[in-house]
Structure 1
């Protein structure tokens, strides 16, 4: 008995000692942090990322385009529409590696210290970090930024950082964030993505308002000129403090970046072909198949590249505003979704270029497949009474048609569902028990979507449902979306390979009533809330994958959207005057790693891009 006790005692002492030693190492300041404490891909003394060219020449100009308009240079509140590329004037505490699932390397912060029990994170700022007016970046700037975003910024920040209890400047170059929970493993990493603003610059300005005054940043570019709603010109900061950091080597090679705005995407495409800007990421399968056939393409002066995209594709969909009484019945939503004929659209309109969305984590291991696994059932079973029965009994599969344009099986099923929901046909219209017609407005800003919606409108009309298509300009679209003034619209929820706190902003009840949050659906479901919180608290990669699959399954069987389509390629056309690194990152096509090799477009016989 005594021997066994002594053996147990010394074994326990040994494990406790190992735990302290390991914990001390884990909690020590590091050059990078990962989600589950696994070693980062790049060591402390790495010189550059594999997907960059550290010897890329600096200089030249990159001409880009924007769609719609912009009316503010403050991208951090919801008081207007900011321009694209505005993020290039700011730097963040850490840099997100584009060839790892979720690793953050020090940027403004030289070192990151995460508590052993995940109760806090501490950032040690680089002494050389400067804003572009020469003033140092300090812990007070970090504290100011966080509080400004929480108190006056876009509502998404409040949900994104909801588990932060306090932020403290412990010294001029050390800032600490304390957490309300130890279960949110992602929080130290997403705090590293915080863009740091200048406290002394913002003290005399109203952070909560929109403004066209060029703000002060610490990033590789500064705003040189701006024409509201029309164009933006960025110039590279020649004496930028961060140019020699390993995380920045090979990035930001252009002296000048311009962004010209086009209110019509078709006009923008013609401008690209007329050499008015340099790079066009094509979103239309029809345009990609037919609209680039020009002498410049045949001669090799324009390059069409399909770059593999290994990033989860999320969900693009026609989304229901659940705040509307007509959409609160799942059967009505399901009936409307059944009448979208993706197979016909893909064949006739998209040149077969797309795959149907069938997951909120499409193109990844996070997507729900088949029936729930035993591991998923452990998560789902406690919520059985709150979830649709199909979650447990059916594999998530969208309705399929034969592509002929005739959708009678889907119409019969939609009709049956609507009868169950209390609707009936009266004078060729689908009406509820009170005689109110099932009629809704589809709000969109992209003219190209109309050719997709018109056949859908016809299918709906054949069962007595009226869909009015209303096209608005981009500013009106943004304002109406923020104020939730729509019936149905098109939107998407982009995903990463490590989903976490942003899911609270997508699906959780706490974000449903926040204007500007990404919970456009107005989704308030206690079961979904619990699944989101469990995902955020996942303690391993395997657990994260299982929780994402369980959440995906519950969202799919809620029929909250009409799934659209995706492609696992970036379709990028560009004028042949640029060099590109030999290796592409997994989660981006790496535009900011390109460099200029010629002032004018060259033929392929002259240069190998």
Structure 2
């Protein structure tokens, strides 16, 4: 999605304050059956709720939704990290639980009708719905869930890391699966398991359409079978995919599904160039557009369809209300040239955000100054209170600056400020052992010039990267900019084949176990992890554990702020910018609930076709 990625909701003072389903099981056999899990406050929806408040329960069924995607795809395998996965496959497969889009961190039963866990969170048990069926009519079973967990861990290094705390998954009843964890009091783990995408064991262990055994560890363009509301109707490899609503979907009347999955068909067309994508939308070939260019949003919507009201435009905060973000130029610390934090800090002084904001951003963005930007988890000023206590507990493992120097991005914007900041950059590079020789910044001992490549996943960020490179050249640093197509970008970051890349991390309002995937030392060693920078730091590792095992919300917020502060002090990224709204445009062929879900745009699940039934 850009930046997307899996951002788990986590660890707070978890309250499972809902009415029990069925009889109370009691703590002696794993807790009470519940209809969901809330990690902030109590569940909003009781077991007998009819539908989520944010849906249009009377939304018409039918019509088409036409969407565009960038790049290409080469696999329909939902559990494999290799290859380029196709868009929209989430409508074919389901998870044990599903999130509510008007709560900060709540999940309700989908394939599972109930969940329970003991008070120490050492395990979790799910009870599958008796009516849950695969598209071929066979029931979803505990064996399917266990097979899915094993396949996810085998096929995706991130999932192997994500589910590493699950030591055992076993069938404990006719429709029950129990997951046992390797340590107690990690209160996020029940939700992590609830997010597991479930695939049919019997289908994957049978022969494929070509008569050969299927292999879930390999990419595949064979149309898969799932349990979800949609099926794949047709595929044009790498170019397009067509999904069709299933009339025989087992869960169409389930409360978590009412008012959703309204389009009869959903079509994704793939484009190599985002400019061509926009022209296709403008011409009426697609129904929806998410705008990522401030200039085009400001000046490029003066064509007839907009003027006539056939295309509607809106800026909405929904997606950002429970999410933080850090995005920018990420250093690969596995490269010796970036080993010294002074080098990394120095290069930030050459990024002139203020000039870019004035000239090409149309004042649409703000500079990012936290790994939890836009949230109340962002650190600021000097540490105090519980945050200071936590930092003192790891004082010997973190940079001394975190106690005395707030993180502040350099401010440029005019020639005088830029010259002063470039002088500061040169000073830091000298402290790191570099010197200017002629017009080149070189290592004083080895004579090696400081140069690197900035890898981009497409041309959109090129003007920003090129401006950064021009400023770096003023201090003798040679930065080349290279845009690659999306599949190559993905393969290269997975293989750690880059000096600097433009990427980022999305953060939930409730951080926890995923922090180890982003910044942990174990993740730094693992190819394909989201520890893009390769940071491997004992202080960061210690703070990650303090986040995961926070005793309550206040303690968690303090631990996250401490972690944020230490990550900033390590200068693993030159932070760039972010918007506070999503800029969306859509034709009058589609409509959405008003208001939208509090924390989501809700596309495609809650939208519908205005042509349905016509």
TM over 0.5: yes
For normalisation by structure 1, the TM-score amounts to 0.93
Rg larger for: 1
Residue 156 (1) aligns with residue 158 (2): yes
- Structural mapping, 1:80-479, within 5 Å: 80-150=83-153, 152-204=154-206, 205-309=214-318, 310-403=321-414, 407-432=418-443, 433-479=445-491
Rounded Cα–Cα distance in structure 2 between residues aligned with 1:45 and 1:201: 34
For normalisation by structure 2, the TM-score amounts to 0.92
Closer/same/farther in 2, CA of residues 21 and 66 from structure 1, 3 Å limit = closer
- 3-state SS of the aligned residue for 1:447? coil
- Structural mapping, 1:594-609, within 5 Å: 594-598=607-611
- Structural mapping, 1:438-587, within 5 Å: 438-587=450-599
Compute the displacement of 1:577 (Å): 2.0
Compute the displacement of 1:276 (Å): 1.0
How many residues are paired up? Answer: 580
**Preserved CA contact (<8 Å) 1:344 1:405:** no
Rounded Cα–Cα distance in structure 2 between residues aligned with 1:599 and 1:88: 19
Unaligned runs of 5+ in 1: 1-19, 602-609
Compute the displacement of 1:297 (Å): 0.4
Compute the displacement of 1:22 (Å): 8.9
Residue 35 (1) aligns with residue 48 (2): no
- 3-state SS of the aligned residue for 2:323? coil
Rounded Cα–Cα distance in structure 1 between residues aligned with 2:416 and 2:527: 39
Rounded Cα–Cα distance in structure 2 between residues aligned with 1:299 and 1:405: 47
Closer/same/farther in 2, CA of residues 600 and 128 from structure 1, 3 Å limit = closer
**1:492-545 deviation per Cα after TM superposition (whole angstroms, max 9, x unaligned):** 111111111111111101111222111111111111111112111123222221
Compute the displacement of 1:406 (Å): 5.7
Rounded Cα–Cα distance in structure 2 between residues aligned with 1:93 and 1:384: 41
Q: Where does residue 600 of structure 2 map in the other structure?
A: 588
- 3-state SS of the aligned residue for 1:494? strand
- 3-state SS of the aligned residue for 1:528? helix
Closer/same/farther in 2, CA of residues 416 and 44 from structure 1, 3 Å limit = same
Rounded Cα–Cα distance in structure 2 between residues aligned with 1:573 and 1:268: 13
Structure 1 stretches of 4+ with a deviation exceeding 4 A read: 20-26, 403-406
Closer/same/farther in 2, CA of residues 599 and 51 from structure 1, 3 Å limit = closer
Q: Which moved more, 1:547-556 or 1:580-589?
A: 580-589
Rounded Cα–Cα distance in structure 2 between residues aligned with 1:350 and 1:171: 58
- 3-state SS of the aligned residue for 2:95? coil
**1:219-276 deviation per Cα after TM superposition (whole angstroms, max 9, x unaligned):** 1111111111111110011111111111111111000000001111111111110111
Rounded Cα–Cα distance in structure 2 between residues aligned with 1:25 and 1:397: 52
Compute the displacement of 1:21 (Å): 11
**Preserved CA contact (<8 Å) 1:577 1:599:** no
Rounded Cα–Cα distance in structure 2 between residues aligned with 1:587 and 1:404: 41
**Preserved CA contact (<8 Å) 2:370 2:564:** yes
**1:191-233 deviation per Cα after TM superposition (whole angstroms, max 9, x unaligned):** 1011111000111321111111111111111111111111111
Closer/same/farther in 2, CA of residues 403 and 193 from structure 1, 3 Å limit = farther
Alignment RMSD (CA, Å): 1.8
**Preserved CA contact (<8 Å) 1:311 1:586:** no
Closer/same/farther in 2, CA of residues 251 and 405 from structure 1, 3 Å limit = farther
Rounded Cα–Cα distance in structure 2 between residues aligned with 1:225 and 1:191: 31
- 3-state SS of the aligned residue for 1:402? coil
Rounded Cα–Cα distance in structure 2 between residues aligned with 1:33 and 1:26: 15
Compute the displacement of 1:313 (Å): 2.7
Rounded Cα–Cα distance in structure 2 between residues aligned with 1:405 and 1:234: 56
**1:364-420 deviation per Cα after TM superposition (whole angstroms, max 9, x unaligned):** 111112211210112111222221122111222211123569611110110000000
Rounded Cα–Cα distance in structure 2 between residues aligned with 1:46 and 1:26: 25
Compute the displacement of 1:35 (Å): 2.1
